[in-house]
Structure 1
Amino acid sequence: MSKRTLYLIIGIGIASILSGMYGAIRTGEAMESLSGIVIGVALIGAVLIEKRNQDKAS
């Protein structure tokens, strides 16, 4: 993956986490907003794992 793509996915992950937190604060329903936070963490985790695998291969 190119650096630009990695940064884009990290940005989407951060936006997802922030929107999940905003939804939890705004509505008071943490369980309904948990999916946005989990998706964001999963995206960022996938990027970090991919970056580590690329570094090992080089």
Structure 2
Amino acid sequence: MRIDRAARLLRDTDNPVGDIAQAVGYRSEFAFSRAFSREQGIAPGRYRDSFAVPRCSRRG
């Protein structure tokens, strides 16, 4: 349940991973990262990146 909430926060906010870890009840970012990776099969930062909207660059 904590990992599901963390996944939502990673998708929907720009909060730092460490802040999300604390918000869902982990004492360290490392412990959170390990638990998240074990449950989701991907590190929290990469999970967030997979939902990022690509930015288009416009020139001239």
Q: Settle same-fold status: TM greater than 0.5.
A: no
**Which structure ranks higher in relative contact order (CA pairs < 8 Å, sequence separation ≥ 6)?**
1
Higher Rg of the two aligned structures: 1
* TM-score (structure 2 length as normaliser): 0.31
* TM-score (structure 1 length as normaliser): 0.31
